[in-house]
Amino acid sequence: MSPRETRRLLAQELAAAAAGYQDSAVIPHCPVCAKPCCRLDKLVLELEWKQVKVFWRLDESRKAFDRRLAAGQGPVEIRPANGLYYAHQKACPAYDQTAQSCRVYGQEIKPVGCSDFPVYEDQGKVVADLRCEAVDIAALTAWIARSLGPGWRIVQTADEEFPFLVTLAVKKVSATAGASKRSRY
Ligand code: SF4
Ligand code: SF4
């Protein structure tokens, strides 16, 4: 197998492990979360036009909406940039605050970033956002180790600027390292 194919398969396994951890440990906690991310008080939600149009129930064209935003007459929580829109500081309109759930859960319209948060695979590593109270980094590390099986070790680092973003990189344990360790006993 080529190194490229090996990396692709590893990334796939990590993405599946991240999704499995979300299903098992994160999503069941959402209805009782003390600080739901969908309130967008800490997080910024990246949106495409189609999501803005549906979530904010807009009838107007994108051009008209952009003009309104530029004139300071649009929703104050939305900022446009690089062809996308960023919502912050007001709860997402798709968030059901009573049920503490997403009204577009499982639907195509749901932003990709929502499905990725708080644990996702990125370039062969797993990234965890500790702003989600359901993430237990030790349990996540053990989950990934179990998913990959023996022969791997997991190295944890925190982002210098945003220490709540923790990266879990996986390294192959070399046969030599295993042999030298065994020889000590
Ligand atoms: S912060 Fe975590 S537990 Fe809370 S609602 Fe968001 S994903 Fe769910
Ligand atoms: S789309 Fe759903 S998951 Fe994403 S912020 Fe809105 S309510 Fe939360």
pLDDT tens digits along 43-66: 999 999 999 999 999 999 999 999
Cβ–Cβ < 8 Å for 56, 94: no
Q: Nearest CA to 140 among 30, 28, 25, 27?
A: 25
Q: Are 78 and 40 in contact, with CB atoms under 8 Å apart?
A: no
Atom of ligand 2 nearest to the CA of 113: 4
* Mean pLDDT score of the chain: 93
Please report where in the chains the tokens 């791997």 appear, as a residue.
Answer: 152
- Name the closest-CA residue to atom 2, ligand 1: 132
Nearest CA to ligand 2 atom 8: 38
pLDDT at residue 175, as a whole number: 62
Local structure of 118: helix, strand or coil: coil
Q: Work out which ligand 2 atom sits closest to the CA atom of 36.
A: 8
Q: What is the pLDDT of residues 141-182, one digit of tens each?
A: 999 999 999 989 999 999 999 999 999 999 988 765 544 443
pTM: 0.88
**Which whole-number Å values give the CA distances from 9 to 6, 124, 148, in the listed order?**
5, 9, 11
Which of 126, 102, 99 lies closest to 115, judged by CA?
Answer: 102
Ligand 1 site residues, Cβ closer than 6 angstroms:
26, 29-30, 33, 36-37, 118, 132-134
| Residue of 27, 29, 130 with the most ligand 1 atoms within 8 Å of its CB, for mutation | 29
**Is the per-residue pLDDT at 113 higher than 90?**
yes
Q: Number of C-alpha atoms within 13 angstroms, CB side, residue 24?
A: 11
Distance CA 37, CA 100 (A): 10
The pick from 22, 30, 38 for probing ligand 2's pocket by mutation, whose C-beta has the most ligand atoms within 8 angstroms, reads 38
Residue 49 CB contacts under 8 Å (≥ 6 apart), including other chains = 62, 85
Alpha helices in the chain (DSSP H): 3-21, 49-55, 62-70, 112-116, 137-148, 175-183
Q: 118 preceded by cis ω (within 30°)?
A: yes
CA of 24 to the centre of ligand 1 (A): 13
- A 10 A CB-CB count for 113 gives 13
Structure tokens at 133: 């109270």
Pocket (CB within 6 angstroms of ligand 2): 38, 45, 92, 94-95, 102, 104, 110-111, 114
Q: Which helix (H) or strand (E) holds 158?
A: strand 152-158
